[in-house]
Amino acid sequence: MKRNTGQNREITKGWRSATKAIRSGTMRSEFGETSEALFLTSGYTYDCAEDAAARFNGEQPGMTYSRLQNPTVQMLEERIAVMEGAEACRSTATGMAAMTAALLCQLQAGDHVVASRALFGSCRWLTDTLLPKFGIETTVIDGREIDNWEQAIQPNTKVFFFETPANPTMDVIDLRSVCDLARAKGITSVVDNAFATNVLQRPMEFGADVVAYSATKMMDGQGRVLAGAVCGSEDFIEETLLAFTRNTGPTLSAFNAWVVLKGLETLDLRIRRQSNNALEVGKFLEQRIEKILHPGLPSHPQHNLAMSQMEAAGPIFSLYVGGGRKRAHGLLNALNLIDISNNIGDSRSLMCHPASTTHHGLGEESRLEIGITEDMLRINVGLEDPIDLIEDLDQALSSIGL
Ligand SMILES: *Cc1c(COP(=O)(O)O)cnc(C)c1O
């Protein structure tokens, strides 16, 4: 197909970030469509029985069944791999399917995992409940200190698992130090990069082995579909991950893949603008309330580290209003423009109370250990005019006496 450059890795990897996000992975059909085609098909046909046999034994390239391959899904996977700077990528139906597959595909009973304690709620359920149930030991540490990682290593440690910045406490983990330590000890590092995305932070440039995503967040970015992705070496994806995902079936639907492809086209624009808006809103809030945790502001204890590994701080940060749950809920209830929602990465501004929603299941003790107090709120700053957002927060703060 003429000018089908999106599939040529030698060409696509030389493009700059915004170009990759629009053009890499595109695979045109015989109609020469400009926008990626949506292939809503579960199966594929063969010209003859011998072709079917050759497809199945791997002698003939091509697709056999959409749990295994689909053209729209493959376009998305190629695009994310190129943007990440990874050899390969496979998508999944949700971010949690990506995290679960990235961990379980390489672990077995008797192995040990070290994870940072500040993780997305369901990721903590994986480390605290699911993995131990299958005989995989886990140690959960404060991942901000490199010594804690080193001390937690055992002879059977196979994986380091963490997210940075972490949800919702905005803990920042030193990618270079933790990934270097993992490499030196023959441990696989798995980084959940949902908050920053590969536009703002590319963990593989700091030595990460596997990068996993909730593409539901910034990649779709408009609150429409659930999706996930795992990036890694050709060897890891083809030999280790694929056997797991093909046979257990957390496959992304072609329709959702198509929506995320469209989302990626504007990811660069959106995440940079949302990061700027979040800085504006953060600067306003910093003057009005006692404490906010925004990695883009010098008041964040790890501001310098964050800015050394991220191009911008992203759209999400947390704030502490004091006065416990009543005041935090009071602020949410007084908002007129910003929605109460636990989603993030959306182009709409959304706010939630982690202790009673996203991190409710963690239990009070674990919540307090990582800084999720009753007066804490998390905000996802969207693409609205930041002045409108500041005016909404201003009136809501006044209404609760702040
Ligand atoms: C949302 C999220 C997930 C889970 O992704 P889903 O698409 O909701 O399954 C995992 N990690 C982080 C950091 C997230 O924000």
Any ligand 1 atom below 6 A from CB of 214 = yes
Model confidence at 349, pLDDT cuts 50, 70, 90, reads: very high
Residue whose pair of structure tokens reads 């580290």 in the numeric block: 305
pLDDT tens digits for range 90-107: 999 999 999 999 999 999
Q: Is the same domain home to 208 and 295?
A: no
Model confidence at 3, pLDDT cuts 50, 70, 90, reads: low
Q: State the angle between helix axes of 386-399 and 324-334 in degrees (0 to 180), rounded to the nearest 10.
A: 130
Q: Is the same domain home to 128 and 48?
A: yes
What is the pLDDT, as a whole number, of residue 1? 46
- For ligand 1, atom 1: residue with the closest CA: 214
pLDDT tens digits for range 284-338: 999 999 899 999 999 999 999 999 999 999 999 999 999 999 999 999 999 999 9
> Relative to the CA of 344, which ligand 1 atom is closest?
15
Q: What is the CATH number of the domain that holds 322?
A: 3.90.1150.10
Q: Is the same domain home to 220 and 323?
A: no
- For ligand 1, atom 4: residue with the closest CA: 95
Residue 1: inside a domain: no
Any ligand 1 atom below 6 A from CB of 95 = yes
> Relative to the CA of 215, which ligand 1 atom is closest?
7
Any ligand 1 atom below 6 A from CB of 76 = no
Q: Is the same domain home to 244 and 286?
A: no
Q: Is the same domain home to 344 and 392?
A: yes
Residue 391: inside a domain: yes
Task: Look at residues 104, 7, 102, 76 and name the one whose alpha carbon lies nearest to residue 252.
Answer: 76
Residue 3: inside a domain: no
Q: Is the same domain home to 189 and 75?
A: yes
Residue 2: inside a domain: no
Residue 333: inside a domain: yes
SS (HEC) of 311-339: CCCCCEEEEECCCHHHHHHHHHHHCCCCE
Q: State which of 218, 240, 264 marks the end of a domain.
A: 264
Residue 258: inside a domain: yes
Any ligand 1 atom below 6 A from CB of 96 = yes
Task: Look at residues 194, 221, 197 and name the one whose alpha carbon lies nearest to residue 358.
Answer: 194
Q: Is the same domain home to 286 and 367?
A: yes
Quote the number of domains for the chain. 2
Q: What is the mean pLDDT of the chain?
A: 96
Q: Is the pTM of this model over 0.85?
A: yes
Q: Do the Cβ atoms of 377 and 352 come closer than 8 Å?
A: yes
Any ligand 1 atom below 6 A from CB of 256 = no
Residue 152: inside a domain: yes
Q: Is the same domain home to 257 and 373?
A: no
Task: Look at residues 216, 334, 348 and name the one whose alpha carbon lies nearest to residue 277.
Answer: 348
Q: State which of 232, 264, 296 marks the end of a domain.
A: 264
Q: Is the same domain home to 32 and 109?
A: yes
Rounded CA gap, 350 and 188, in Å?
34
Domain that holds residue 132: 9-264
Q: Is the same domain home to 150 and 196?
A: yes
What separation in Å is there between the alpha carbon of 131 and the centre of ligand 1?
18
Rounded CA gap, 82 and 110, in Å?
35
Q: What is the CATH number of the domain that holds 42?
A: 3.40.640.10
Q: Is the same domain home to 247 and 361?
A: no
Residue 2 pLDDT > 60, yes or no? Answer: no
Q: State which of 264, 279, 300 marks the end of a domain.
A: 264
Q: Is the same domain home to 138 and 279?
A: no
Q: Do the Cβ atoms of 75 and 37 come closer than 8 Å?
A: no
Residue 64: inside a domain: yes
pLDDT tens digits for range 129-184: 999 999 999 999 999 999 999 999 999 999 999 999 998 889 999 999 999 999 99
